[in-house]
Amino acid sequence: MNVPSNLKYTKSDEWFDPASGAMGITDFAQSQLSDIVFVELLVEEGDEVTVGKAIASVESVKASAEIYASAAGKVTAVNKGLADKPETLNSDPFGEGWMVKVEGGAAGEVMDAAAYEADCAGRAH
């Protein structure tokens, strides 16, 4: 499981990059969902999001899931390319698989990489 140390993580398996304002789903989340086949982004540039607001909906061959904002702020960018290539979330969830970028807000209840790894390990058994 890939857990970059520069990111912050939520218990609901979203990540947040305080440096860029980007957020998305974690490697753990995409592995639990399996092959992601559909992504719908639920916010637009200029929208205000609050922590816990649904920012995207994803569907895989196993399940569907809502993706929630891990930080509050004004949406400055939306990764529209995910609609055409939803599989990017499986291959590169922390890079090209970012979903939304925000500015001017604060992260919600987030964990560092070590705490998130421990949380995932506890749920895997």
Domains of the chain: 8-108 (2.40.50.100)
Summarised one tens digit per residue, pLDDT across range 39-50 is 999 999 999 999
Strands in 22-25's sheet, in edge-to-edge order, are 8-9, 14-16, 22-25, 100-103, 73-78, 48-49
The reported pLDDT for the residue numbered 19 is 93
Query: Would you state the pLDDT for residue 125?
Result: 57
- Residue ranges of the chain with per-residue pLDDT less than 50: none
Closest CA to 31 of 71, 121, 91, 86: 91
**C-alpha span between 85 and 80 (Å, rounded):** 9
Mean predicted lDDT score pLDDT of the chain: 93
